[in-house]
Amino acid sequence: MNGKALPYLLLMPATLFLCVFFLYPFVLVVFEAVTRDGAFTLDNFRAMAGSWKFPATVRNTLLLAAIVVPIQLAMALLMASVVSRLETGRSAALYIFAIPLGISDLAAGLIWLAIFDQSGFLNTLLSGLGIIERPIMFLGYQSKLTIFVAVVLAEIWRATAIMMVILVAGMGLIPREYYEAAEVFGAGPWKRFIRITLPLLRPSLQTAIILRVILAFEVFAVVAALGGTNLPVLMGETYNWQFTLQDRNVAAASALLILAISIGFTLLFLRVLRVPKEARI
C-alpha cells in the first residue's frame, strides 16, 4: 500500500462519521432556519425574537452560565488541587468526585427534584426539625428564584467533575521541579499556586472553560425536571418550537442562535486564555 495514502485511509472512517452525523444535519438545520415553504426568508429569526418568552429565555441562559461556570471553576480548581496533592487514596478521591459524571442530566434533575419537591427530603427534614408545620412548595410557578437556585445547585453538583478531570490531567503535566525551586526561594503554597500552577494550567483552563460554557448554553433536562416551563432557557424553547408548536423552521433558527453564542464565547476564551508558544510546557 502506498505510504502516502495510508493516513487518509485511516482518517476516512472518522471523516465519514462526522460528515453523516454532524455535517449533513448541520446543513439541514441551516437550510430549515433560512427558508420557509422552500423560499429564502429571515421570518424564522423574527418569529423567534418576537416571542414573548425570548428576552427571558436569553437572560436565564446567560445568567445560568455566568453564575454556574465561575463557581464550578473555583470548585474544580480546589478539587483538582486536593487530588493532585494526595499521595495515598488519590484514585479513590478522584473516583468519588467523578461519580456525578456517570449520571445523566435528566437523572440528576430528578434527584434534585426529590430534594426540593413538596414531599421531598428537604421538606421532610424541615418538618422533622420542627421548623415548618406544613410542606413548602419550593418549585411552584410563583417560586422562580427558588427554581433558579435549584437548577444552579443541580448543575454545580452534576458537572463540576468534568472540569476537575481536565484540570487534574493538566496539573499532572506541570514539572515538580518548578514547585521545588519556588519552595527553595521561600514561596508559600498560595504564591506557588498563583505564580506556577495557574499560568502553566492555562491550556487546561481554556479547554475546561470552553467545554463547560458550551454545555451551560445547552442546559435542558435539569431545567425541565426542576422548573418545566417556569424557567425558560434557549434549549428548552428550541424543544418547544420543534415538538410543542410543531415549527421546525423556528426551532432551527433557535438552534443556530445557540451555536452562534457558543462560537462567540469560544473565540473569546481562546483569545483571553491564549497560550504563547514560548510559554508552553
3-state secondary structure of 36: strand
Q: Is 50 helix (H, G, I), strand (E, B) or coil?
A: helix
Q: Cα angle at 97 between 89 and 123, to 5 degrees?
A: 130
* Secondary structure letter of residue 218 according to DSSP: T
Using CA atoms, how far apart are residues 144 and 146, in angstroms rounded to an integer? 5
- Per-residue pLDDT, 222: 94
Q: What pLDDT shows up at residue 189?
A: 85
Task: Give the per-residue pLDDT at 76.
Answer: 95
CB atoms within 10 A of CB 163: 25
- Position 14: which residue type? A
C-alpha 23/C-alpha 1 separation (Å) is 30
For residues 176 and 141, give the distance between their C-alpha atoms in angstroms, rounded to a whole number.
Answer: 53
What are the grid coordinates assigned to 135, written together? 410542606
Q: Which residues pair with 36 in a beta bridge?
A: 39
Cα separation of 122 and 165, whole Å?
Answer: 30
**3-class SS at 35?**
strand
- The pLDDT score that the predictor gives to residue 279 is 53
Q: What is the DSSP letter of 140?
A: S
pTM recorded for the entire structure: 0.89
Predicted confidence at residue 90, as pLDDT, reads 84
CA distance 135 to 32: 47
What pLDDT score does 24 carry? 93
| Residues paired with residue 117 on neighbouring β-strands, in sequence order | none
- In this prediction, residue 2 carries a pLDDT of 63
Q: Which residue's entry shows cell 496533592?
A: 85
pLDDT at 1: 55
Going residue by residue through the chain, which has 281 residues, state the pLDDT in tens, using 9 for 90 and above: 567 788 888 899 999 999 999 999 999 999 999 999 889 999 999 999 999 999 999 999 999 999 999 999 999 999 999 998 888 888 888 888 888 888 889 999 999 999 998 888 999 999 888 888 888 888 888 888 999 999 999 999 999 999 999 999 999 888 888 888 888 888 888 898 888 888 889 889 999 999 999 999 999 999 999 988 899 999 999 999 999 999 999 999 999 999 999 999 999 988 888 776 655 55
Q: How far apart are CA 127 and CA 121, in angstroms?
A: 10
CA distance 69 to 13: 35
Cβ proximity of 226 and 146 under 8 Å: no
Q: Which of 182, 218, 214 is nearest to 200 (CA)?
A: 182
